[in-house]
Amino acid sequence: MTTDYDVCVIGSGAGGGPVAYELAKAGYAVVVLEKGPWYTEKDFYKDEIACCRRNAYASNTLDEPQVVESHEERDAWWARSTYQSGWTFWNGNCVGGSSNFMSGYFHRLKPMDFRLLSEFGPIEGANIVDWPISYEDMEPYYDKVERVVGVSGRVHKHRYAEPRSSEQFAYPATVDHPMGRHIEAACDALGMDAITAPRAILSRPKGRRRGCNYSGYCGSYGCATSAKGSSRAALLNDAVETGNCDVRPHAMVSRLISDAKGKVIAAEYFDADGKVQRVTAKIFNVACQAVESARLLLRSTGPRYPQGLANDSGQVGRNLIFAAGGAASGRVTYEKFGQELASFGPFINRAVQDYYVIDDKDFGPRQKGGTIDFDFQPPSAIARASYLVTDSNGLVWGERLKQRLEQHFLRGQYIKVEAFCDWLPIDDCHIRLSSHQKDKWGLPVSHVKVDYHAHNLRTGWYLADKGGSVLREMGAEDVTAFAVGSPPTNLQAGTCRFGDDAESSVLDADCRSHEAENLFVSDGSFMPNGGSVQHTWTIYANAFRVADNIRAQLGGGVRTSSQAQTRRFSQPMQWRPIKAANGDTQS
């Protein structure tokens, strides 16, 4: 059968970009279907209202709601539309996906993360398994991300440092804020090793991409210099330039169509005008983020897949995971730190991994811990002020509020701690299709059931307290530390777990469906656990690995010039804000 393309990639973020990039460079014809628009650097101005208060770069929850089922008490479950609750699992619906808006903390997983069950044993109520591949299998791809996407940092030898094939990062660390030295001194006094946190942010130019301009706006904001290693800036622009990659924005994939033998034959999608289109390919690669990838497979029923594509095992949507952990913060004053603190823009870029394994008799048996990152509170003024209008006694207003605002903005800055540990996969954290709620295309939306294992909180508190102790040691005031069970919705994984057993996993070790021979999934859905770090570097690395697996299935060669087709690719779309029915500005 003649097909339109060799490979159809659905989703253009960290899971989809490497696949498109590698296969287009190898001469294969690739199409990328992206639900959102195509923004460029000129669209990423630092507008807190657009980016962070009204979610202009994510889906409008009036048109595209999700249903979240959770509980405030252990026995009181409730489900509400995200349009009602304001809680959403949409992250950056545009070319490049949520990688456009990440903070860019890029820690690798450790070898122990690949053998979590073998290393630490079972935990009651948690679905812990070992990975079907090892750190050694992934390491070359971590190294590739450093070079191709661009990761800056300094390699430190410490107790839990992972093996590396390169002595140093491909790019030197970004400029350090002077407060980083105070973090190091406090860690030294407490017997901890402070390391430089690697970042997917260029410290110097790479091709058409410029180095960081240190505006201070990274997390939740797009990068106006392309220094941040988004899939769009680092990979897709180059993929399109090969002439072999067609990126189609405003292409909402409604389902994947399979034949009686179980092979995927087409992707059906709604274009910008709401018209139904189809594209055929030899191989299909799904990379929509964990929640939406599961939703797509579940609604892609066919003759061979009555429960949803690749779901004979009933595992699609199960074992949804996020990143667990805790947080701390402390105020450092201009009175104490003077001109050093007044420096604006550079990152603190310090982390502690001394507690990646917690071997503390007061905490219990040896068990998995996590990573502690330090940085400044984001400069977003509205968000920072919003935290000041309440305290333990309720609403703060009048003169007291004015004093709090003055103290917060004029007398010092807040250093924050973000502590990461494993979100243990459990039965009550999963995705299914809503039985009653539909989106603007008439498709059933994701029903996200969210619960957490108590072990997440216990570990998160331990790490947050350790981070808080560093802040106190360096002389910070008003130090608070805490952990919560709510998930960070931007760090989602699981739902299409990979493994060797087709009864308990969705994908094989190559991230190919156990059932559909030409279906791959390359976003964070494949992960049995997320490690005690942010997921994005591992998603990037694995997607490069999946690209090699797809290339091998296609024959491993490069198309000759007579076979390759010259394709007109979609031009970047000009973004114009429009008003949604709820009054919010949406893309």
Residue by residue, DSSP assigns 283-308 as EEEE-S-HHHHHHHHHH--BTTBTTS
Phi-psi region of 478 (alpha: psi -120 to 50; beta: other; left: phi over 0): left
Q: Give how far Cα 515 sits from Cα of 7, 261, 267, Å.
A: 18, 10, 17
The counts of H helices and E strands in the chain are 14, 24
The per-residue pLDDT for 43 is 87
DSSP 99: G
Question: N- to C-terminal Cα distance for the chain?
Answer: 38
In whole angstroms, give the CA distance from residue 568 to residue 565: 10
| The pLDDT of residue 411 | 84
Could you say which DSSP state residue 393 is in?
A: T
Which tens digit of pLDDT belongs to each residue from 394-428? Answer: 898 899 888 888 888 888 889 999 999 999 999 99
The Cα-based distances of 23 to 31, 429, 534, 555 in angstroms read 10, 34, 26, 12
Report all structural domains of the chain as residue ranges with CATH numbers, in order of start. Answer: 5-571 (3.50.50.60)
* CA atoms within a 13 Å half-sphere pointing along the CA-CB vector of 117: 12
Model's pTM, two decimal places? 0.92
- CA separation (Å) from 83 to 65, 319, 491, 580? 6, 25, 20, 12
pLDDT in tens, 318-371: 999 999 999 999 999 999 998 888 877 788 999 999 999 999 999 999 999 999
pLDDT by residue for the chain (587 residues), tens digit each?
A: 578 999 999 999 999 999 999 999 999 999 999 999 999 998 887 787 877 767 778 888 889 999 999 886 556 788 888 887 878 888 889 999 999 889 899 999 999 999 999 999 999 999 999 999 999 999 999 999 999 999 999 999 999 999 999 999 999 999 999 999 999 999 999 999 999 999 999 999 999 999 988 887 888 888 889 999 999 999 999 999 999 999 999 999 999 999 999 999 999 999 999 999 999 999 999 999 999 999 999 999 999 999 999 999 999 999 999 999 999 999 999 999 988 888 777 889 999 999 999 999 999 999 999 999 999 887 778 878 887 888 878 898 899 888 888 888 888 889 999 999 999 999 999 999 999 999 999 999 999 999 999 999 999 999 999 999 999 999 999 999 999 888 888 899 999 999 999 999 999 999 999 999 999 999 999 999 999 999 999 999 999 999 999 999 999 854 433 333 433 334 343 333 333 333 333 33
